[in-house]
Amino acid sequence: MMGYGPGYGHYGYGSMMGGYGFGGFLMMLVGLLFVVGIVLLVVWAVRASHGHGSSTQYNVPQAPTAVGHDEAVAITKRRLASGEITTEQYGEIMRTLGA
């Protein structure tokens, strides 16, 4: 006799409603991937709108490093010596550099 026994019918082990077969696992995996995708999309949108938090977003000038400062002073002195700039320009550059 062909009746509804274990593994057959509406709520047997073979259906998705009664067991967690491959179909149930696949549905859970797709749902998880969807949620992860939404979270990653939100994170990307927030980072893109805030410019990753860098100071270049606001055009904040960075303080020169000691090596960069020394090099700038040396270049300015060399330009004064070669006659590229005047003593007034030299003084202005040195005030700007803080030297």
Contact at 8 Å (CB) between 69 and 97?
Answer: yes
76 by Cβ neighbours in 10 Å (0-12 / 13-18 / 19+) ranks as buried
Question: What's the pLDDT score for residue 89?
Answer: 92
| pLDDT tens column, 69-89 | 788 888 999 999 999 999 999
Question: What's the pLDDT score for residue 60?
Answer: 58
Taking residues 30-57, what's their average pLDDT?
83
**DSSP H helical segments within 1-99, as ranges?**
22-50, 66-82, 87-97
Domain ranges of the chain: 12-50, 63-97
Question: What's the pLDDT score for residue 50?
Answer: 79
| pLDDT tens column, 5-35 | 555 555 555 555 555 677 888 899 999 999 9
Question: What's the pLDDT score for residue 57?
Answer: 53
Cα separations (Å) of 97 from 9, 10, 94? 85, 82, 5
Q: How far is residue 18's CA from residue 33's CA, in Å, rounded to a whole number? A: 24
Question: What's the pLDDT score for residue 61?
Answer: 60
Question: What's the pLDDT score for residue 5?
Answer: 52
pLDDT exceeds 80 at position 54: no
Q: Cβ neighbours of residue 50 under 8 Å, at least 6 residues apart?
A: 57
